[in-house]
Amino acid sequence: MPDPIEVRKVPIESVTDASGLSRLIADGVIEAHRVLAVIGKTEGNGGVNDYTRILADRAFREVLAEHGHPAPGSVPLVWSGGTDGILSPHATVFATTADAPASEEPRLSVGVAMSEVILPEDIGRPAMVEKVAAGVREAMKIAGIDDPRDVHYVQTKTPLLTLATITDAKSRGRDTAIEETGPSMDLSNSTTALGIAVALGEIEMPSAEQIHKDLSLYSSVASCSSGVELDRAQIVLVGNVRGIGGRYRIGHSVMKDALDADGIWEAIRDAGLPLPGRPHPSDLGGRLVNVFMKCEADPSGRVRGRRNIMLDDSDVHWHRQIKAAVGGVAASVTGDPAVFVSVAAVHQGPSGGGPVAAIVDLG
């Protein structure tokens, strides 16, 4: 049986601020050597050259090292860049704990794993799907989860293509699925999501022609991010296990479109927090730790029948526009702009919508 989990959300007050993590350790809320993973939002542009992710990564690893973590470089730190609109930079810290109430009810468990090396020529192709799926299965074992239905959130970080890695593939006589570095972020995310869906039995193994094209294929629990920081899939799998003990539980749902606040409320209910028929942020009672969601501009260019111009806008990329819009919807539900909203959600939830997971403190 894996150890029970302590999970806390901390603000990030500047690009290199990791004082929230330091306070958690200094106050005895968590122990540095027990930190399993960190999932956070940084304030950069969310693109290929968003180095705020690297700055945050370094700051948090330095804190872990200062407080005695034996191998801070091995801890998965998954950073999603871009806090457009009112989204606020923050981090959610997951750690095991020796001080948790016993419970036979389902309680939070976390499994972390790394895939095999993902080569630049794998991105957007079945080889990447297979490597990610193998890593997800390993993370399930580590979390002590046998039934995929008990998995509610899988956060990944995978490599995207850069000029250097495209050149590397060519030097070995290989080609890449595309040669544009920016769009490779979306392609890496979508391929990873299919790997998660395959591992959890949500879909069969897709063909090469279906990757990033067949929008009927998706995972309802995948949240995939990509960057230049690593060369394999970094996987943080979160679910529930009976008998593990602890205060926390996770649930999930999907947002059917960018305005689907009900999808967020449903994820909170699924996590075990009772809510009235027409809930309000005040009904949360301070027991919501965080929500995690993916979003995507609807390829039809419409939301609930109304036309928008995100996909035609040459001034501001649609990534930033939809992230800000969904961030506003999420913050209106939670009453807190420090929510995890990430973009590029092909194969992650229904087209034009996205998966949403919620962690609550059940006391």
Question: Which residues have a catalytic role annotated?
Answer: 157, 225
Structure tokens at 312: 């035609």
Cα 335 to Cα 64: distance, rounded to the nearest angstrom: 30
Q: C-alpha distances in angstroms, 315 versus 207, 240, 307, 320?
A: 35, 43, 18, 11
Contact indicator for 159, 118 with CB cutoff of 8 Å: yes
Strand partners, 232: 117
Q: Which run of H or of E encompasses 78?
A: strand 77-81
What 166-173 contacts at long range (C-beta under 8 Å, 24+ apart), as own/partner pairs, is 166/120, 168/120, 169/119, 169/120, 169/121
Q: How would you class 104 by CB atoms within 10 Å of its CB: exposed for 0-12, middle for 13-18, buried for 19 or more?
A: exposed
Q: Identify how many contiguous H helices and E strands the chain contains and give both numbers.
A: 7, 14
Cα 16 to Cα 36: distance, rounded to the nearest angstrom: 20
Cα 159 to Cα 228: distance, rounded to the nearest angstrom: 6
What 126-131 contacts at long range (C-beta under 8 Å, 24+ apart), as own/partner pairs, is 126/205, 126/206, 126/207, 126/208, 126/211, 128/158, 128/188, 128/191, 128/192, 128/195, 129/191, 129/194, 129/195, 129/198, 129/205, 129/206, 129/211, 130/195, 130/198, 130/205, 131/195, 131/232, 131/233
- Coil, helix or strand at residue 148: helix
